[in-house]
Amino acid sequence: MTVLDRARELDAVDPLARFREQFHFPDDAEGKPCLYFCGNSLGLQPKNVQDIVDEELTAWRQRAVDAHFEGERPWYSYHERFAAPLARLVGAHPDEVVAMNSLTVNLHLMMVSFYRPDATRNRILVEPFAFPSDNFAVRSQLRFHGVRDDGLLVPATADDGVTVDLQAFKDLFEAQGDRIALVLLGGVNYFTGQLYDLKAITEIAHAHGARVGVDLAHAAGNVPLDLHESGVDFAVWCSYKYLNAGPGAIAGCFVHRRHLKDRSLSRFAGWWGHDPARRFRMHLESRFQPTESADGWQLSNPPILAMAPLWASLRWFEEAGIEALRAKSIQLTTFLIDCLDDLDLPGMTILTPRDPRSRGSQLSLRFREDVGPVQEALQKAGVIVDVRKPDVIRVAPVPLYNSFHDVWRLTERLRDIVGAS
């Protein structure tokens, strides 16, 4: 059996194959659908998005202000309908999650509550190759609280120079655990594609008195999560990558139940986080009474037109199920690894862990030389991937819309481009 035959066989028995037809693929120079492996940067547009957005535009046109309380999806309670499906995606209770703001805004709001440094416990631990926005946010929080630059701690990498094993976290906490106030990790590291054991790391951190937050930008909609049981204190995520909600889409936030009724927590306040029974008393209310759920961290009323695409996309996650998506994701990335191993491309190594338990729907490929020309050649061949200069290409086979035949075609393009270089 050839590799192509194997790809066709896997596609023929794929129970999720039907979802591919629910997404728009961009066209290449010849007007044919591109090979799209960039869902870890921006997910494809679901075909039902336009209808859902148009419905809200119609409600605005026909009802104006009354659409806040009338129609199929009243705007006043619009954000509430996201709680259950998002909770299922991230392994939480509905009262622990809320769709609001953008990712880094949510990260700062969470650090207002959960990064409370003092003279001795003031350091923040982040993973190597943390997403730049997280690094910027964390460093700005350190400066805001008057903590020096050495307040940022990074565990040592393994022998491969990129991934981090659990022992590295243990070693850092043994050395400086009494000084660490907060751990902030990517659920899946954006650069290496490594999936972290959040429960194990949280247990280590909590045992030393530190709180734990997670950036799920590359994990939400990618891998099954169990935020409540893992014990993390908070999590934030965007919705424009694996969740396919469009550029700048509404983000999400998780706050563990044990914190929801804690009035001693510092927080920034806004009227949409106020007790909904009192929210419209306006000038009659002078004292903020936070809702006893993750909703209590909201500031402003939800942006309906930015949330509608997420509502459209969540339908497909509800139908497919995150466990089924995870099973196909492992198959896709394993098939991609097998194809790349067979090619044995000169000067290329796979940075992402080969153990499927330690990766999501992404492989990071490091090349011996600048990958700019490789990306340009792939683009001309109708293949869209993501590049991290100078030498890494990130490939994301997304189980909702990528096929095994897509993976085979990608590796054939790489053979033509890299094998001939």
102 close to 238: Cβ distance less than 8 angstroms: yes
Res 298 pLDDT > 90: yes
Q: Which CATH number fits domain 3-33+322-418: 3.40.50.150, 3.40.50.12780, 3.30.465.10, 3.90.1150.10?
A: 3.90.1150.10
Which residue, 335, 333, 325, 381, is CA-closest to 8?
Answer: 335
- As a whole number, mean pLDDT of residues 78-88 equals 97
24 close to 44: Cβ distance less than 8 angstroms: yes
- As a whole number, mean pLDDT of residues 58-79 equals 96
Res 299 pLDDT > 90: yes
Give pLDDT, residue 421.
46
- As a whole number, mean pLDDT of residues 388-396 equals 97
- Chain region(s) in the chain for CATH 3.90.1150.10: 3-33+322-418
DSSP state of 404: H
Calculate the average pLDDT of the chain. Answer: 96
Res 412 pLDDT > 80: yes
pLDDT tens-digit map of 17-51? 999 999 999 999 899 999 999 999 999 999 999 99
Res 61 pLDDT > 70: yes
Q: Which residue has the higher pLDDT, 111 or 287?
A: 111
- Chain region(s) in the chain for CATH 3.40.640.10: 53-318
For residue 280, what pLDDT band results from cuts at 50, 70 and 90?
confident
Q: What is the 3-state secondary structure (H, E, C) of 62-130?
A: HHHHHHHCCCCCCCCCHHHHHHHHHHHHHCCCHHHEEECCCHHHHHHHHHHHHCCCCCCCCEEEECCCC
pLDDT tens-digit map of 374-386? 999 999 999 999 9
Q: Which CATH number fits domain 53-318: 3.40.640.10, 1.20.1250.20, 3.30.1960.10, 3.40.50.300?
A: 3.40.640.10
69 close to 267: Cβ distance less than 8 angstroms: no
Give pLDDT, residue 282.
75
Q: pTM here?
A: 0.96
- As a whole number, mean pLDDT of residues 183-191 equals 97
